[in-house]
Chain A
Amino acid sequence: MSDQNRPGGDITEEQVEAMVARLHKQAQAGGYHLNPDADFTRELARSLMKNQARYGYEACPCRLAAGEKLEDLDIICPCDYRDADLERYGACYCALYVSAEAARGERAVSSIPERRPRAREDRPQFKQAAAPEQTVVSSLPYPVWRCRVCGYLCAREEPPGVCPVCKAKKDRFERFM
Chain B
Amino acid sequence: MQFPDNCRRGRGKIQTGARVALARVRGPDLKYDQHGGNHAMKFIAREGRDRGDVKLYALSTCVWCGKVKKLLADLGVKHEFIDVDELTGKQQAMIREQLDTLDPDWRFPCLVIDGGRLCICGYKEKDIREALGS
Q: Residue of B at shortest CB range from A50?
A: B61
| Residues in chain A near residue B65, CB distance under 8 A | 62
Tell me if B63 is interfacial: C-beta within 8 Å of chain A. Answer: yes
> Which one of B66, B84, B86, B105 has the greatest number of beta carbons of chain A within 10 Å?
B105
| Residues in chain B near residue A116, CB distance under 8 A | 105
| Residues in chain B near residue A29, CB distance under 8 A | none
Tell me if A64 is interfacial: C-beta within 8 Å of chain B. Answer: yes
Q: In the complex, are the beta carbons of A62 and B63 less than 8 A apart?
A: yes
Q: In the complex, are the beta carbons of A64 and B105 less than 8 A apart?
A: no
How distant is the Cα of A95 from the Cα of B65 in the complex, in angstroms?
12
Q: Residue of B at shortest CB range from A110?
A: B123
On chain A, the number of residues with a Cβ less than 8 Å from chain B's Cβ atoms is: 23
Q: Residue of B at shortest CB range from A96?
A: B63
Partner of B85, one of A40, A64, A111, A112: A64
| Residues in chain A near residue B12, CB distance under 8 A | none
Tell me if A27 is interfacial: C-beta within 8 Å of chain B. Answer: no
Interface size class of B (residues with CB under 8 A): 20 to 34
Q: In the complex, are the beta carbons of A61 and B38 less than 8 A apart?
A: no
Q: Chain B's nearest CB lies how many Å from the CB of A71?
A: 13
Tell me if A44 is interfacial: C-beta within 8 Å of chain B. Answer: yes
Partner of B63, one of A1, A6, A61, A113: A61
Q: In the complex, are the beta carbons of A111 and B39 less than 8 A apart?
A: no
Q: In the complex, are the beta carbons of B62 and A118 less than 8 A apart?
A: no
How distant is the Cα of A48 from the Cα of B123 in the complex, in angstroms?
20
Beyond A64-B85, A112-B122, whether A118 also contacts B105 by CB under 8 A is yes
How distant is the Cα of A61 from the Cα of B39 in the complex, in angstroms?
20
| Chain B 58-92 interface residues, beta-carbon cutoff 8 Å to A | 59-66, 84-86
Per-residue interface assignment for chain A, residues 115 to 145, with 1 indicating a CB less than 8 Å from any chain B CB and 0 otherwise: 0101000000000000000000000000000
Point out residues on A near B: beta carbons under 8 Å. 1, 6, 40, 43-44, 47-48, 50-51, 61-65, 94-95, 110-114, 116, 118
Additional 6 contacts, C-beta under 8 A, given A61-B63, A62-B63, A110-B123: A40-B63, A51-B61, A62-B64, A111-B123, A114-B106, A114-B107
Can you name 29 A-B residue pairings with CB atoms under 8 Å?
A: A1-B38, A6-B86, A40-B63, A43-B63, A47-B60, A47-B61, A47-B62, A47-B63, A50-B61, A51-B61, A61-B62, A61-B63, A62-B59, A62-B61, A62-B64, A62-B65, A64-B84, A64-B85, A64-B96, A94-B62, A95-B63, A110-B123, A111-B122, A111-B124, A114-B105, A114-B106, A116-B105, A118-B104, A118-B105
Point out residues on B near A: beta carbons under 8 Å. 38-39, 59-66, 84-86, 96, 104-108, 122-124
